[in-house]
A = this chain, B = another copy of it.
């Protein structure tokens, strides 16, 4: 990880320690950045007793959570640093006395002005995985956990960032031909469902709302693997396509059950099985936490191949950045 990002994380951790007891954490963003923060809620709820809530930015502001105050840490994210709702949410949180930390790609953005501290990340195809948004998020997350409850586990989790790029590069190579076939088969589908649970929920959500709805204008919905059996599974039929994620760890059995059912009743079930990832460079007890970053590589590949097969660039928008809204 770049020295700048490491230094920014260090400054935030020191500020958090100086702040004293953190009694509540809010993770606040919109769309893809909201999805990006969701795995941090998952990890924090498993590793600490500090209550953590993840909310869309304007839901956070209009909700006015009573627990928000001087003992709160509010982590927000906007890639461009300009998302008005997230800038407003960060301002609002700071006014309530919370420690505000923003993640952003852009420098000197409106978000950076409102947040007490900003942690930047890098972007682009040649970027080392540890410098991308998810890598830097984990760099903060495990450093923070290491001060809440110092542990060898979090040291190892931080060290895993050094090999993350090897893991994601290998996955990209492994999945490129597989995904090309999936995309070719799926290219004329008017709707594709996205199913996952546990730490992969955020990736599956962003696949549905960003990659498919926003960037391909393809109908989609994110379905939680456990919720699938309590309503959504009735939509399953031989010709209804599902892209489903099977995670590692304890959520896996829940994902497998959904995959097994869907495969029996639909001819169009595509499974991102995290057990197929080569994660041998990462310690086994950390593989669940890191798996969603690797799943994200596969979801991105699907989107890219889909865009190619459909001749619909991922950069085309009809409303976003084009109209007042």
Contacts and interface: CB of A to CB of B under 8 A. Distances in A.
B210 A59 contact: no
Interface string A199-215: 00000001011100111
Interface in A16-46: 24, 30-32, 34, 42, 45-46
Interface in A138-162: none
A260 to B, nearest CB: 8
A283 B78 CA distance: 39
A194 to B, nearest CB: 10
Contacts of A229: 30-31, 325
Contacts of A249: 62
Nearest to A234: B214
Nearest to A33: B230
A220 B240 CA distance: 13
A85 B234 contact: no
Interface residues of A, number: 70
Contacts of A57: 226
A99 to B, nearest CB: 17
Contact of A232 (B64, B85, B214, B236): B214
A234 B320 contact: yes
A5 to B, nearest CB: 25
B198 A217 contact: no
13 contacts: A32-B230, A34-B227, A45-B53, A56-B197, A57-B226, A59-B254, A63-B250, A83-B230, A209-B232, A217-B237, A233-B320, A236-B319, A261-B319
